[in-house]
């Protein structure tokens, strides 16, 4: 049985400090709350049994600024390849596929999706 989870590393190639989430959904409004602001360099995303998961990284707090979207099972060893190394200030991880219009609505309202735990400062 595959488990829905995301592991985030401060270093490239899955090195240095790691934070792992194993929930159906979590939104971190400000990464400073985890002492992880602007340090994310690599991650592993596991979609679980249904094959659906979305990780959205935002350059600003409260889901603002530029963003990058990753879906399904992903191993990203260097976010620099996506122009996003050490740029994440907030993020959303959910066990379903979020559309671009849903992400834009999250940005417009500065509100996490329903049914997720939100971590704030």
List per-residue pLDDT tens for the chain, 121 residues long.
578 999 999 999 999 999 999 877 899 999 999 999 999 999 999 998 888 999 999 999 999 999 999 999 999 999 999 999 999 999 999 999 999 999 999 999 999 998 899 998 7
Three-class SS state of 55? strand
What is the layout of strands, in order, in the sheet containing 90-94?
67-71, 54-58, 90-94, 25-28, 117-119
pLDDT of residue 40: 98
Q: What's the rounded Cα separation, in Å, for the pair 30 and 62? A: 6
Helices (H), 47-121: 100-109
User: Within 13 Å of residue 66, how many CA atoms lie on the same side as its CB?
Assistant: 9
For 98, phi and psi rounded to 5 degrees?
A: -90, 135
pLDDT of residue 55: 97
Residue 49 near residue 5, CB atoms below 8 Å: no
- Choose among 105, 103, 75: nearest CA to 91: 103
Three-class SS state of 57? strand
pLDDT of residue 61: 97
* Tokens 């829905």 belong to residue: 4
pLDDT of residue 3: 87
pLDDT of residue 50: 84
pLDDT of residue 81: 97
């Amino acid at each position: 049985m595959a488990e829905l989870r995301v592991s985030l590393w401060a270093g490239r190639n899955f090195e240095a400090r790691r934070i792992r989430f194993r929930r159906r959904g979590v939104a971190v409004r400000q990464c400073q709350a985890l002492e992880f602001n602007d340090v994310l360099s690599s991650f592993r995303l596991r979609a679980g049994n249904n094959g659906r998961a979305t990780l959205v990284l935002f350059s600003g707090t409260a889901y603002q600024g530029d963003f990058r979207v990753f879906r399904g099972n992903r191993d990203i060893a260097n976010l620099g390849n996506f122009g996003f190394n050490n740029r994440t200030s907030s993020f959303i991880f959910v066990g379903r596929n979020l559309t671009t219009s849903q992400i834009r609505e999250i940005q417009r309202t500065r509100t996490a999706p329903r049914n997720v735990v939100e971590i704030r400062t």
